[in-house]
Amino acid sequence: MTVWPVISITLPALKDEHRRAGRLQQAWMRYLRRLEIHERHHAHLITMGAAQMQTEMRSASSCGDMVRASDRWRSEILKANSDYDERTVHGRSEGVVFP
């Protein structure tokens, strides 16, 4: 049994008419880089939690234990991501601010 998290990160895009303003473009690119780093950390937390989920599910002695392990790790993953957003004020403390 293998747990494979499927993670898709969708980042915002700046409309074409706003791409011409140099300072705005620079601020946007800085924001986008920092946002991507922040979102990739969320993905990392999911991946690490999924690995722990898989380990615990593989050692389960019954289907019920597998379900409980899955439920527990799903809750742990959600909590880890929520805690991360709380610590970083949804990325603001990491510079995820525009403009």
pLDDT tens digits along 2-46: 999 999 999 998 777 666 678 888 888 999 999 999 999 999 999
Q: Are 49 and 69 in contact (CB under 8 A)?
A: no
Q: List C-alpha distances in Å: 33 to 36, 37, 61.
A: 5, 6, 44
DSSP E strands, 22-80: none
Cβ density class 49-62: b for 16+ within 10 Å, e for less: bbeebbebbeeeee
* Closest alpha carbon to 96 in 3, 25, 28, 13: 28
Task: Categorize the per-residue pLDDT at 69 as very low, low, confident or very high, splitting at 50, 70 and 90.
Answer: very high
